[in-house]
Amino acid sequence: MPLTKEQIVLAAVEVLDAEGVAGLNMRRLGAQLDSAATAMYYHVKSKDRLVELAADHVFGEIELPGPAATDWREAAAGLARGAHKMIVRHFWLIPAMSTHVIYGPNKARYDDHCLAVHESAGFGGADADRVAASILMFVIGAAQGEAAESALRAKVRRAGADEEKRMDEAMAEMVETARRFPRLRARMEPDYPDGGDAFEFGLSSLLNGIFLTSTMVEVEE
């Protein structure tokens, strides 16, 4: 049975999840699908285009809460959490977004829904755009740490090295560096209070600020 474009994109996501952008090529993808590399080019003309299609595909994994079914803040938080979880699952998306223009139907669907949610809070035009961009930038930044660890693991696997040994070495290097600074060293002590979920704290703080702005807009009107 001939390959479909959808099968190729799904296989590309699997390879990207395992090996990152550097590990994806048509030959590797052909092996994943038990097909000749030339068969990939019939549907997708280049690796760059394949990365763009795969990136747009994973944006389709984000569940879109209905703005009419809940209040603005809950809907905005749900969108942010969904995007954060998706990016953490697909660590390669962050570097891909820095080198590719990611804009297909799934990304557009996500963006349009975000704007609808923010408009329901009273933001319009450029203000809704700014709110959407601010939340997405926060989400990407919050996912950076976990994505970087996953990227390092993928790099180590591609090199055929001992993954856990290399991760232990990297962690030991970070700890040694942090111990040189008093406040960071204090946070390594067993009795240091738990800071809680940094993502939820940051998201709540961001939405509080946006909510305050939206109420000020309503008062001005």
In a domain, 28, yes or no: no
Q: Which pTM value belongs to this model?
A: 0.88
User: Token pair 């996912």 is at which residue?
Assistant: 143
Output Rg (C-alpha) for the chain, integer angstroms.
21
pLDDT attached to residue 215: 55
Could you read off the pLDDT of 183-218 as tens digits, one per residue?
999 988 888 888 779 999 999 999 999 877 665 544
**% residues pLDDT > 90 (the chain):** 60
AA identity, residue 7? Q
Alpha helices in 90-161 (DSSP H): 93-99, 105-120, 126-159
What does the pLDDT look like over 92-143, one tens digit per residue?
999 999 999 999 999 999 999 999 999 988 888 899 999 999 999 999 999 9
- Of 158 and 11, the structure prediction assigns the larger pLDDT to 11
Q: Give the range of the structural domain holding residue 140, as residue numbers without chain letter.
A: 64-220
CATH of the domain at 72: 1.10.357.10
Q: How many domains does the chain have?
A: 1
Q: How far apart are CA 25 and CA 34, in angstroms?
A: 14
- Mean pLDDT, all residues of the chain: 89
Contact of 197 with 203, CB cutoff 8 Å:
no
Q: Please report whether residue 55 resides in a domain.
A: no
Rounded to whole angstroms, the Cα distance separating 87 from 91 reads: 6
Whether 110 maps to a domain, the answer reads: yes
Question: Would residue 48 count as lying in a domain?
Answer: no
Q: What pLDDT does 166 receive?
A: 87
For residue 165, being part of any structural domain is answered with yes
Residue type, 105: P
Give domain status of residue 179, yes or no.
yes
